Amino acid sequence: MSQKFTILFDLDGTLVDTAPDLIIAHNHVMKKFGFQTKEPNEIKALVGMGAKTMMGKTIWNSAKEELKKIKEKDIKSAMVKEFIKYYGDNILIKSKLIKGVKEFLVWCSKNKISMGVCTNKQEHLAVDLLKKIKINNFFEYVAGGNTFDFCKPDARHLTNVIEIMGGDIKKCIMIGDSEVDALSAQNASLPFILLEDGYTNIKTSQMKYDHLIKDFADLDKIIKKYL
C-alpha cells in the first residue's frame, strides 16, 4: 500500500552507533589471525562498509609480507567468516541508538510515514540488530548488502526498496552518515539528510546533502516540510 511519505535509513552510524562492537570484532579477528590490531580512530570510517571491505582495507595493504605465505583468497574468506560469526554473537554489547532515534521513529509511525532500512551490513545481521535493540517493528523492509545483487551506492538498492514498500520515489528521503549514503541518494535522485560525525573520513563539505543534523532531535521539523 502506498504511503504518503517514505523515509529510508542507513543503519550503522545513522540509527545505531555500532562502531564499538564492530571494532571489537575486527580486532578479535586481527589478533586471532596474527595481525596487528587497530585503534578505533584508525578504522571507524570503515565500519559501515561491510565486513569484507572493512577487513580488506585494514589488512591487505599492511600485511603483504605475511600474505605472500598464504593464499590471499583463503585468508580473506576465513577472516571475513570469523568476523561475521564473532560479531553476530556479540552484536549488541556496546552499540546504542543515536540520540533521538526512538522518539523520531515513534513520531513517524504516528504520522503514517513508511520506513525502510538500506544498509551494506549483511541482511541477517541488520535484522538481528534491529530486533535486539527493539526498533525492528518500525520498518516495513530491511535491505542488507547481500539482499540484492548490488548494494549502496548503487541507486537500485534504494529504488528497489521503495518499490517493494509500495512507495513513491517523488515522496521519499534518505537519511545517512557517510559518503556512500550521500552518493546513493544522489544516484537515486532523492533528497538527503546527513548526520554529522558519521563513519567516514570525508569532510561534510565534500558530501552533497540537503539538510545537516547532529542527531534526530527535532528532525520532525525538517520532515514536515516534505509532507
Same domain, 103 and 212: yes
Same domain, 80 and 146: no
Q: Is residue 1 part of a domain?
A: no
Query: Where is the domain boundary, 52, 74, 89?
Result: 89
Query: Where is the domain boundary, 89, 118, 136?
Result: 89
Active site residue 12: no
Same domain, 109 and 178: yes
Half-sphere exposure in the Cβ direction for 12 (13 Å, CA): 30
Q: Domain holding 202: CATH number?
A: 3.40.50.1000
Query: Where is the domain boundary, 60, 89, 118?
Result: 89
Same domain, 27 and 139: no
pLDDT at position 143 is: 98
pLDDT at position 64 is: 47
Alpha-carbon distances, residue 183 vs 8, 99, 152, 157, 226 (angstroms): 14, 24, 8, 12, 21
What are 99's three cell numbers? 540520540
Same domain, 75 and 136: no
Same domain, 126 and 84: no
What are 118's three cell numbers? 538500506
Is 200 in contact with 179 (CB distance < 8 Å)? yes
Is 146 in contact with 123 (CB distance < 8 Å)? yes
Range of the domain at 25: 19-89
Same domain, 35 and 126: no
Pairing of strands 192-195, 114-118: unpaired
Is 90 in contact with 20 (CB distance < 8 Å)? no
Q: State the pTM of this model.
A: 0.89
pLDDT at position 72 is: 66
pLDDT at position 194 is: 98
* Count of domains for the chain: 2
DSSP secondary structure, the chain, as one string: ---S-EEEE--BTTTEE-HHHHHHHHHHHHHHTT-----HHHHGGGTTS-HHHHHHHHHTTT-HHHHTTS-HHHHHHHHHHHHHHHHHHTTTSS-EEPTTHHHHHHHHHHTT-EEEEE-SS-HHHHHHHHHHTT-GGG-SEEE-TTTSS--TTSHHHHHHHHHHTT--GGGEEEEESSHHHHHHHHHTT--EEEESS-S-SS-GGGS--SEEESSSTTHHHHHHTT-
Same domain, 47 and 121: no
CA 101 to chain centre: 15
Phi, psi of 83 (to 5 degrees): -60, -50
Per-residue pLDDT of the chain (227 residues; tens, 9 = 90+): 445 899 999 999 999 999 899 889 888 988 998 888 877 777 776 666 666 666 666 554 444 454 455 556 677 788 888 989 999 999 999 999 999 999 999 999 999 999 999 999 999 999 999 999 999 999 999 999 999 999 999 999 999 999 999 999 999 999 999 999 999 999 999 999 999 989 888 899 999 999 999 999 999 999 999 99
pLDDT at position 63 is: 46
